Chains A and B, each alone.
Chain A
Amino acid sequence: MNDSNIQLDDNGHLKHFLTIEGLERSLLLNILETAETFSGVGARAVKKVPILRGKTVANLFFEPSTRTRTTFELAAKRLSADILSLNISNSATKKGESLLDTLHTLEAMHCDMFIVRHANSGAAHFIASHVAPNISVINGGDGRHAHPTQAMLDMFTIRKHKPDFSKLRVAIVGDILHSRVARSEIHALSILGASEIRVIGPRTLIPWHIETMGVHIFHDMNAGLKDVDVIVVLRLQQERMRSALLPSESEYFRLYGLTEEKLALAKPDAIVMHPGPINRGIEIDSRVADSRQSVILQQVSHGIAIRMAVMAMTMQSQSGIQPEGGHADPD
């Protein structure tokens, strides 16, 4: 799917944020730098800046999520936007209203931005191509396709610990097949120039032809984790498994669970990440999840800064007025 064009306005600025695929390196760096300026807001007495005052953001969650939804809510609130979270799986669509009718209803309420989370791949793209031109759409995760803000917050977290992407060896471990996070992450890491990206998992959970994305495939943790700088552990998405892909949870943990012994194969200063929610004792051992090398909770805080950056950037494009070049400082 190529939706790189629809994401950008005529000036090449971000209008929607649907997928990492096809975006320029400079734009990704721009998001990371903008997030950096927002990251201090949460530490202040008043955790708010007035930049999106008067804007209305609708969180459209067609699929349940706690951390993505709440961090988007917090991000919107810290930018002074008004936000409403609609758990659509429980409301209108159950009564038979079509997706487009739901959207048009929200447009009529003068919303400025939709954050969309949907179980079907391509849902955010579909919505972005049907909304009124003054509305920005941000993908909060669509099916197996993409979760671009998660990938960017992971890049932000990696950069805090390992500033030079060109020296990075990153291993993504586990259920790659069902993971939109893995896909977005692979795109982001390749655009930012990571030196090696590995995916590690059982044959049944590695999608066919993933090597065409420029990754190295490993089915053995001991070989795959050797000398890596970053380990991204993925959640085993049993709710998406429609057939018997695994013998058992305990067998999975024995082979692919990240334990202290397996972590020791990576570089001594390797960091451990997980998009959450974590299944302790299935894909990650508690001692690793709570260890000094784990940056899982930092990922959550960084998620707010990244989401603030993406929301502010897409809204800026929406104003329809070209930003002035150079240093803006009229007085």
Chain B
Amino acid sequence: MKKLDIDIDACLAAMSGELREVVGPDAIMIGIHSGGFWIAERLHELMGIETLLGQLNITFYRDDFSRIGLHPRVKPSNLPLEIEDREIILVDDVLHTGRTVRAALNEIFDYGRPKRVILAVLIDRGGRELPVAADVTGKRLSLKPDEHVKLSGPEPLALELKTAE
């Protein structure tokens, strides 16, 4: 395991600047549990978004539920606002296969039909298995299949590179 030398604060500042240019002032931000929510908390504050921050727990929407199983202590999803016809900023920490985003979109659509969904990720590490792309990316890495980026937090946020044995 090795610490990744990435200035997270600088990435977040750049991301919030880019996001301000692409979304309206009444957009709703939703973070994916757990790392995505930590990133969303920071962006939400940096951008001064006034609508409540949502949290998505996609456990029940994963396509690998039978392999990974239930995580009973995971907080339930909490989308505090009507998302019908609203702009959504979906936030995750690491974009890899795209399966988490697929699951998150499915869950969001069970709450309503948003006008538009923007995807913001701190790290895009490549290795997509689905046609998913981020609109705003903090940092791009190109990693080998057996390497994984892990965000720890919420305070302080730190990135580590792990290699699967």
Q: Which residues of B lie under 8 Å from residue A51 when comparing CB positions?
A: 60-61, 65
Q: Is the beta-carbon distance between B110 and A316 smaller than 8 angstroms? A: no
Q: Which residues of B lie under 8 Å from residue A321 when comparing CB positions?
A: 66-67
Stretch from A35-43, A136-144, A241-249, A290-298 contacting the other chain: A35-43
Q: Which residues of A lie under 8 Å from residue B94 when comparing CB positions?
A: 331
Number of interface residues of A (CB under 8 A): 29
Q: Is the beta-carbon distance between A45 and B110 smaller than 8 angstroms? A: yes
Taking the nearest CB of chain A, how far is it from the CB of B67, in angstroms? 6
Q: Which residues of B lie under 8 Å from residue A33 when comparing CB positions?
A: 72-73
Q: In the complex, which of the residues B60, B72, B100 contacts A50, with contact meaning CB atoms closer than 8 Å? A: B60
Stretch from A94-102, A148-156, A269-277, A322-330 contacting the other chain: A322-330
Q: Which residues of A lie under 8 Å from residue B107 when comparing CB positions?
A: 49
* Given A323-B69, A328-B69, A331-B94, also A45-B74 (CB < 8 A): no
Q: In the complex, which of the residues A37, A313, A316, A324 contacts B76, with contact meaning CB atoms closer than 8 Å? A: A37
Bound-complex Cα distance A196 to B112 (A): 47
Q: Tell yes or no: A312 within 8 A of B by CB.
A: yes
Q: Is the beta-carbon distance between A328 and B71 smaller than 8 angstroms? A: yes
Q: Which residues of A lie under 8 Å from residue B66 when comparing CB positions?
A: 316, 319, 321
Q: Is the beta-carbon distance between A48 and B110 smaller than 8 angstroms? A: yes
Q: Is the beta-carbon distance between A329 and B34 smaller than 8 angstroms? A: yes
Q: Tell yes or no: A30 within 8 A of B by CB.
A: yes
Bound-complex Cα distance A42 to B100 (A): 23
Q: Which residues of A from 4 to 47 have beta carbons under 8 Å from B?
A: 30-31, 33-34, 36-40, 44-46
Q: Is the beta-carbon distance between A331 and B69 smaller than 8 angstroms? A: no
Taking the nearest CB of chain B, how far is it from the CB of A329, in angstroms? 7
Taking the nearest CB of chain B, how far is it from the CB of A56, in angstroms? 15
Q: Which residues of B lie under 8 Å from residue A49 when comparing CB positions?
A: 60-61, 107, 110
Q: Which residues of A lie under 8 Å from residue B16 when comparing CB positions?
A: none
Interface band, chain B: 35 or more
Q: Which residue of A lies closest to B75 (CB)?
A: A37
Q: How many A-B residue pairs have CB under 8 A?
A: 75
Q: Which residues of A lie under 8 Å from residue B35 when comparing CB positions?
A: 329
Q: In the complex, which of the residues B61, B74, B99, B100 contacts A37, with contact meaning CB atoms closer than 8 Å? A: B74
Q: Which residues of B lie under 8 Å from residue A39 when comparing CB positions?
A: 76
Q: Which residues of A lie under 8 Å from residue B59 when comparing CB positions?
A: 37
Q: Is the beta-carbon distance between A331 and B72 smaller than 8 angstroms? A: no
Q: Is the beta-carbon distance between B70 and A313 smaller than 8 angstroms? A: yes
Q: Tell yes or no: B137 within 8 A of A by CB.
A: no
Q: Tell yes or no: B10 within 8 A of A by CB.
A: no
Q: Which residues of B lie under 8 Å from residue A46 when comparing CB positions?
A: 109-111
Q: In the complex, which of the residues A30, A40, A327 contacts B77, with contact meaning CB atoms closer than 8 Å? A: A40
Q: Is the beta-carbon distance between A316 and B74 smaller than 8 angstroms? A: no
Q: Tell yes or no: B148 within 8 A of A by CB.
A: yes
Q: Which residues of B lie under 8 Å from residue A330 when comparing CB positions?
A: 96-97, 99, 148
Taking the nearest CB of chain A, how far is it from the CB of B84, in angstroms? 8
Taking the nearest CB of chain A, how far is it from the CB of B96, in angstroms? 3
Q: Is the beta-carbon distance between B111 and A37 smaller than 8 angstroms? A: no
Taking the nearest CB of chain A, how far is it from the CB of B151, in angstroms? 9
Q: Which residues of B lie under 8 Å from residue A323 when comparing CB positions?
A: 67-69
Q: Tell yes or no: B15 within 8 A of A by CB.
A: no
* Given A45-B110, A51-B60, A329-B35, also A316-B69 (CB < 8 A): yes
Contact with A along B76-87 (1 / 0, CB 8 A): 111000000000
Q: Sorted from nearest, which 4 A-B pairs have the closest CB atoms? A: A331-B96, A323-B69, A49-B60, A46-B110
Query: What are 8 sample pairs from A and B whose C-beta atoms fall under 8 A apart?
Result: A37-B59, A44-B111, A46-B111, A49-B110, A319-B66, A321-B66, A330-B99, A330-B148
> Chain B interface (Cβ within 8 Å of chain A)?
34-35, 57, 59-61, 65-78, 94-100, 106-107, 109-112, 125, 148
> Chain A interface (Cβ within 8 Å of chain B)?
30-31, 33-34, 36-40, 44-46, 48-51, 309, 312-313, 316, 319, 321, 323-324, 327-331
Given A37-B57, A329-B35, 11 more pairs with CB closer than 8 A? A30-B72, A34-B70, A36-B72, A37-B76, A39-B76, A40-B77, A49-B61, A50-B60, A50-B106, A51-B61, A319-B66
